[in-house]
A and B are shown apart, each in its own frame.
Chain A
Amino acid sequence: SYELTQPPSVSVSPGQTARITCSGDAFPKQYAYWYQQKPGQAPVLVIYKHIERPSGIPERFSGSTSGTTVTLTISGVQAEDEADYYCQSSDSRATYPGVFGGGTKLTVL
């Protein structure tokens, strides 16, 4: 089955830049989606179609691709950005959301 690989954890100090990667063989052909989840809350979409930002999401959140790796970048990290982040995509032949990465815990030091 198709898998997306994320680092378990990333730590940054406030004001620094956090980068969370997600690797998958179907990138970049298949779009990546990124979700933020805070404790006890439902996930929230922060990036769609690799690089697009939904309305209401701060500009410090951005997405990029390089080969079979996609990256969520949070510039000028704030304490409120501490959360779990998940990438999501589909295998090479699918259009439905079939797979999530294992998630990355972002810690703001």
Chain B
Amino acid sequence: EVRLVESGGGLVQPGGSLRLSCAASGFTFTNYEMNWVRQAPGKGLEWLSYISSYGTTIYYADSVKGRFTISRDNAKNSLYLQMNSLRAEDTAVYYCARAESYGGNSGLFSWGQGTLVTVSS
């Protein structure tokens, strides 16, 4: 069974930093591209970042470019999101998600349960 478990969320002050982790199990981690998606309270889904299976290709949404860094440790079957210079508008549930394409652009076939990040003083 595919399992993605996020951790690392919590309360942080504006301007602070936080590192999210996503532990993957039930599949061969190195075979899959991974993504981070967030959802602010009462709002829709927002794609944040993508990382290829060996970390050689990375993309970010404009809203987090220069502040957030995605990475992965294939030996530990883990995905990370380093978040710096946090703002109140970064308050959201953060999901990690596994991508699959079957040819063409990819979609998100498996999701974790999410971890809540609250940015507030």
Q: Residues of A at under 8 Å CB distance from B?
A: 1, 30-31, 33, 35, 37, 42-45, 48-49, 54, 84, 86, 88-90, 94-103
Are the CB atoms of B106 and A95 closer together than 8 Å?
yes
Q: Per a CB cutoff under 8 Å, which of B37, B62, B107 touches A33?
A: B107
Segment with Cβ contacts to A, from B21-29, B40-48, B81-89: B40-48
Q: Are A96 and B111 also in contact (CB < 8 A) when A31-B105, A103-B44 are?
A: no
Are the CB atoms of B104 and A49 closer together than 8 Å?
yes
- Interface size of B as a range: 20 to 34
Interface of A is mostly: loop
Are the CB atoms of A95 and B47 closer together than 8 Å?
no
Q: Which partner residue on chain A sits nearest B35 by CB separation?
A: A97
Q: Per a CB cutoff under 8 Å, which of A31, A49, A88, A103 touches B108?
A: A88
Are the CB atoms of A97 and B105 closer together than 8 Å?
yes
CB distance from B92 to the nearest CB of A (A): 13
Are the CB atoms of B105 and A30 closer together than 8 Å?
yes
**Which of B62, B105, B111, B114 has the most A CB atoms < 10 Å from its CB?**
B105
Q: Are A97 and B45 also in contact (CB < 8 A) when A1-B62, A42-B112, A49-B102 are?
A: no
B47: chain A residues at CB < 8 Å are 88, 97-100
Are the CB atoms of B105 and A95 closer together than 8 Å?
yes
- 16 more CB-based (< 8 A) A-B contacts, given A31-B107, A43-B108, A97-B105: A37-B45, A42-B114, A43-B95, A43-B111, A44-B111, A48-B109, A49-B104, A84-B44, A86-B44, A89-B105, A95-B106, A96-B33, A97-B35, A97-B47, A97-B107, A98-B47
CB distance from B58 to the nearest CB of A (A): 9
CB distance from B10 to the nearest CB of A (A): 19
Measured CA separation A30–B99 after assembly (Å):
15
